[in-house]
Amino acid sequence: MKIRQSTNRGLVLSLLIAASLITLTVMQKNIDTDRYDSGLRKFISYKLTERLLSNLKDRSVYIRAYSATSNSQKLTLFRKLQSDWLALQPQSIAENESEKDQLAIILESQEWISLQEKLVMSKALNKFENKAISEVDSGNMRQASQILYG
């Protein structure tokens, strides 16, 4: 009888240990998945921000060069970057299904609100750039420089 009881206890204890290990493994997998998803969301958010900032920086270079030289090639390059910026859609950032899923989460999050604020500021900058172009086109280089450089 004692042998049977200790065998049953040993079996129950072994089952509890196995169940605990399975539970810990599943919990660790969920934590790893959450960590991966969080990292992917950050990556996509940084990627979108980097494209926006890169475009703004390049536009600034060309508009300033145009205001200083009236070189129509600089204006053409600026206009191309401007149209690229206007066409910049968050969906173009995601390259696969996993990234698209994380992008959907970003678009519903505080991160996207922050990015939208940057886009609004960028649109305001767009108005200044267009005003500077008008000044250069009308021959008023000094006013264009003042708009661009403050």
Chain segment 75-91, per-residue pLDDT in tens? 898 888 888 776 666 66
What is the model's pLDDT at position 109?
67
Q: What is the mean pLDDT of each run of 10 residues along the chain (150 residues)?
A: 63 76 75 77 77 83 86 88 73 68 70 70 78 86 82
Amino acid at 75: L
pLDDT score, position 66: 85
Q: Quick one: pLDDT at residue 10?
A: 72
Instruction: Give phi and psi for 96, each to the nearest 5.
Output: -150, 175
* Exposure letters 86-99 (e unless 16+ CB within 10 A, then b): eeeebeebbeeeeb
pLDDT of residue 73: 92
Cα pseudo-dihedral 133, 114, 83, 48, rounded to 10: 130
Burial class (CB in 10 A: 0-12, 13-18, 19+), 102: buried
Predicted TM-score of the model (pTM):
0.57
User: Is the torsion defined by CA of 123, 129, 131, 134 positive or negative?
Assistant: negative
